Amino acid sequence: MKIRVGPDGVYFFDRQTGLNILIDEIKTPSNFWANAPRQVSIALTNACDLKCPYCYAPKYPATLNLGNVVSWLTELDINGCVGVGFGGGEPTLYPHFVELCKHTKQNTNLAVTFTTHSHHLNEKFLSKLEGSISFVRVSMDGVGSTYELLRGRAFPAFLSNLKLVKQLAPFGVNFVVNASTLSDLDEAVVLASEAGAIEFLLLPEQPNRGTSGIDERTTQDLQHWVNKYKGGIPLRVSEIGAEGLPTCDPFVKETGLRAYAHIDAMGNIKRSSFDNVGVPIKREGVLEALGMLRSL
């Protein structure tokens, strides 16, 4: 059981069961608060074998050093971070991915999650990760021909891989929402539920390298869809795309870099994966770089 003290109270988290308990009646002085963000995402590599037009990941080659990542995870764990999410690029293309996940589970108290397009998942690969993963996020972004047009992979193959994931850990489906994918939401939720997903994460498309992101009309239609939603699995939404949608966040005081930070594949710590401003993590470690980022 991980215990984290922050401005909202004392937070208990069990990475094995996913149990979350926040005792907000307990108020503590700020000098007792955790120094690390509650959650940190790490882009292990920029490499990906898909070319989704809305992808935010940089297209220049970059891969993190395993020793550096291990050191950062140790520091984050000691300083109160609860969970780490590995991404990219495509994290399963990171050459030390299995080793890193196993190390994190065995040597820290961090919950380990990763986000994947799923096309490199098979029973042999998943068996190597068994016992090391707390949660998996699988990117769908449309169904049928929409998926195939945007992601360049066969949709039946994706569905086949999706059914494998629940053998590893609880999982959710990520869904980038834009004018092309909005009409697929109803079918996507049904397919995700049938495959065993326990949540459906809405990711309104963000502006990126010449793309305009989700348009105003699609945003309004998404808000209308969410307000009428009666599906069988809970909806989630990215913080950066949550405006105008009904959300519930128990950590109302733990915001910004106290709640979340992102480390890119060049080893820069940022406020989010979409941020262009970052601070290189040097020998002094993650917390030093985080402090510098907070001062910008």
Question: What order of strands is seen across the sheet that includes strand 2-6?
Answer: 2-6, 9-14, 19-23
| 3-class SS string, the chain | CEEEEECCEEEEEECCCCEEEEECCCCCCHHHCCCCCCEEEEECECCCCCCCCCCCCCCCCCECCHHHHHHHHHHHHHCCCCEEEEECCCHHHCCCHHHHHHHHHHHCCCEEEEEECCCCCCHHHHHHHCCCCCEEEEECCCCHHHHHHHHCCCHHHHHHHHHHHCCCCCEEEEEEECCCCHHHHHHHHHHHHHHCCCEEEEEECCCECCECCCCHHHHHHHHHHHHHCCCCCCEEECHHHCCCCCCCCCCCCCCHHHCEEEECCCCEEECCCCCCCEEECCCCCHHHHHHHHHCC
- pLDDT at residue 121, as a whole number: 95
Judged on CB neighbours under 10 Å (0-12, 13-18, 19+), 113 is: buried
Q: What is the C-alpha to C-alpha distance for residues 255 and 289, in angstroms, rounded to an integer?
A: 18
pLDDT given at position 200: 97
Digits of tens for pLDDT over the chain (296 positions)?
999 999 999 999 999 999 999 999 999 999 999 999 999 999 999 999 998 988 888 888 999 999 999 999 999 999 999 999 999 999 999 999 999 999 999 999 999 999 999 999 999 999 999 999 999 999 999 999 999 999 999 999 999 999 999 999 999 999 999 999 999 999 999 999 999 999 999 999 998 776 789 999 999 999 999 999 998 899 999 988 888 998 888 999 999 999 999 999 999 999 999 898 999 999 999 999 999 999 99
The pLDDT, as a whole number, for residue 266 is: 97
Beta strands 2-6; 9-14: pairing state? antiparallel
* Structure confidence at residue 232 (pLDDT): 86
pLDDT for position 54 = 86
How confident is the model at residue 239, as a pLDDT? 86
Domains belonging to the chain, first-starting first, are 35-294 (3.20.20.70)
Query: Quick one: pLDDT at residue 228?
Result: 96
So what's the pLDDT on residue 107?
Answer: 98
Question: Is the overall model pTM greater than 0.75, yes or no?
Answer: yes
Q: And the tokens for 280?
A: 């290189």
- 151: nearest Cα among 122, 114, 184: 184
Give residue 56's pLDDT.
82
